[in-house]
Amino acid sequence: MESLVVLLLHPMDTYLEQELDRRCRLLRFCWDSPPDRRQGFLRTHSTSIRAVVTSGGSGADAALIDALPRLEIVACYSVGVDRVDLDRCRERGVRVTNTPDVLTDDVADLAVGLAIAVLRRIPQADRYVRDGQWKAKADYALTTRFSGKRVGIIGLGRIGLAIAKRVEAFGCPVSYNQRTKQAYPNYTYSPTAIELAANSDVLVVACSLNEQSRGIVSREVIEALGPRGVLVNIGRGAHVDEHELVSALVDGRLGGAGLDVFEDEPEVPEALLALHNVVLAPHMGSGTRETRRAMADLVLGNLEAHVLKKPLLSPVV
Ligand code: NAP
C-alpha cells in the first residue's frame, strides 16, 4: 500500500505511526502547528489523501470528511466510533473501520478493577501506607466487600459480556439493560436503566454512545442506585449526567464511583479530585502494550485489506 496517502490526525501509538510511515505515504496533521494551519494543510493535500487514521476521541466530523474529496476510508484506532460522522461517510461512500474484540478483555479487567478499587478503597489504602499513617495511627478503616454484590451492566455487548463473565466468578448476580433483550440464561434483563440501577449494588456502563444512550445515567438512575451504590463508567463520559453525578457523590446520595471516562476529557470536574469515594482513571481501558499493539495491527490490516480490495477486517460502514 505504498501509494496510499494516509492522514494521521494526532500521535496515537509509536508502533502504528512507524508502520504507517513504512507501509504508506503518511501525512501528520500539523501536530505541532497552530490549528489555523490545518485548513491550508488540508487544501494542499485534499486531492491526495485517501485514508484517515483517527482515534475514538478525535473521530472524523463532516467538515473533515467534506474537505477530503478523495477520501475512501476512515480507520478508527478504537472500538467506539461515536465521533465519526457515520451518516456522512455512508452518503459519501467512505468506509469506516474500528478495533473491536482485541480490547475487550483489558477494558473488562479495568471495569472490575475499578469496582473493587472503589469498594475496597485500594488507592486510599496505598496512600495510607505511603504517608506513614499505618504506623502513626492504626489499622485502616473497614471497607466494603465486592464478592457477591449485584452487578448491573448497561450494554451487554462484547465488553459488557466480558465483565459479566468476570464478576460471575466473584459470585455476583448479573442483570443488564440494553435495547435488545437476549436469551442469556444467567443474566436478568431490565427494560430500563432506572430499574436496573434500583436492583444493583454496582452499576457498570459498557454500552456504545448513541442518541438513546447519551445521558442514560440520569439523575433518576443515580438516585435509584443510591447512597450505597457504586457507578463504574468505562463507556463514554457523555453516558453520564456528570453534573448530577458529582453533586450526588458530594452529597452522599451515591455511594461511590470508578470512572475511566469523562464528559470533557482530559478535564475532570474539580470536585471529584477531593472525594474519597471515587477512583479516577485517565481513559486507559484499552491501554496495555498488548492491546494497543493489536489495535494498531487491526488498523493496519483494515487499510491493507482496503487497498487490496479484500473484505475489511472490522467494518463499521
Ligand atoms: P458492542 O459489542 O457494540 O456493545 C455495545 C452494547 O451497547 C450492545 O450490547 C448494545 O445493545 C448496547 N447499547 C447500545 N445502545 C444502547 C442504549 N441506547 N441503551 C442501552 N444499551 C445500548 O461494543 P463493545 O465492544 O462492547 O464496546 C462498548 C463501548 O465501550 C464502546 O462503544 C466504547 O464507547 C466503550 N469503550 C471504552 C473503552 C475505554 O477505554 N474506556 C475502550 C473500549 C470501548 P443494544 O444494541 O441491544 O442496545
Ligand 1 atom nearest 260 alpha carbon: 41
CA of 143 to the centre of ligand 1 (A): 31
CATH code, residues 5-101+289-307: 3.40.50.720
Task: Quickly name the fold that domain 104-280 has.
Answer: Rossmann fold (3.40.50)
Q: 262: Cβ–Cβ under 8 A, 6 or more apart, which residues?
A: 237, 242, 268, 269, 283
For a mutational test of ligand 1's pocket, the pick from 208, 217, 291, i.e. the residue with the most ligand atoms closer than 8 A to its C-beta, is: 208
| The two domains 5-101+289-307 and 104-280 share their CATH topology (first three levels equal) | yes
Residue 32 has pLDDT above 90, yes or no: no
Residue 122 has pLDDT above 90, yes or no: yes
CA of 24 to the centre of ligand 1 (A): 32
Q: Atom 21 in ligand 1: which residue has the minimum CA distance?
A: 178
CA of 31 to the centre of ligand 1 (A): 30
pLDDT tens-digit profile of 66-105? 999 999 999 999 999 999 999 999 999 999 999 999 999 9
Where helices occur in 24-73 by DSSP H, the ranges are 37-45, 62-66
What DSSP string runs through 48-60?
A: T--EEEE-TTT-B
Q: Atom 11 in ligand 1: which residue has the minimum CA distance?
A: 178
CA of 208 to the centre of ligand 1 (A): 3
Residue 33 has pLDDT above 90, yes or no: no
Count CA atoms closer than 13 A to 253's CA, side-chain side: 12
Q: Atom 30 in ligand 1: which residue has the minimum CA distance?
A: 235
Output the average pLDDT for the chain. 97
List residues bridging with 84 in a β-sheet.
60
pLDDT tens-digit profile of 243-280? 999 999 999 999 999 999 999 999 999 999 999 999 99
The residue to which cell 478503616 is assigned: 141
Q: Atom 18 in ligand 1: which residue has the minimum CA distance?
A: 213
Domain boundaries of the chain, sorted by first residue: 5-101+289-307, 104-280
Catalytic residue numbers, as ranges: 236, 265, 283
For a mutational test of ligand 1's pocket, the pick from 103, 178, 262, i.e. the residue with the most ligand atoms closer than 8 A to its C-beta, is: 178
Closest CA to 151 of 105, 106, 206: 206
Residue 140 has pLDDT above 90, yes or no: yes
CB within 6 Å of ligand 1 — which residues?
A: 79-80, 100, 103, 107, 154-160, 177-180, 206-210, 212-213, 216, 234-236, 260-261, 283, 285-286
The pTM for the full model equals 0.97
CA of 110 to the centre of ligand 1 (A): 15
Instruction: Label residue 35 by pLDDT band (50, 70, 90).
Output: confident
Quick check: 67 and 47 in contact, CB under 8 A?
A: no
Quick check: 262 and 236 in contact, CB under 8 A?
A: no
Give the three-class secondary structure for 258: strand
pLDDT tens-digit profile of 191-248? 999 999 999 999 999 999 999 999 999 999 999 999 999 999 999 999 999 999 999 9
Ligand 1 atom nearest 287 alpha carbon: 40
Q: Atom 33 in ligand 1: which residue has the minimum CA distance?
A: 80
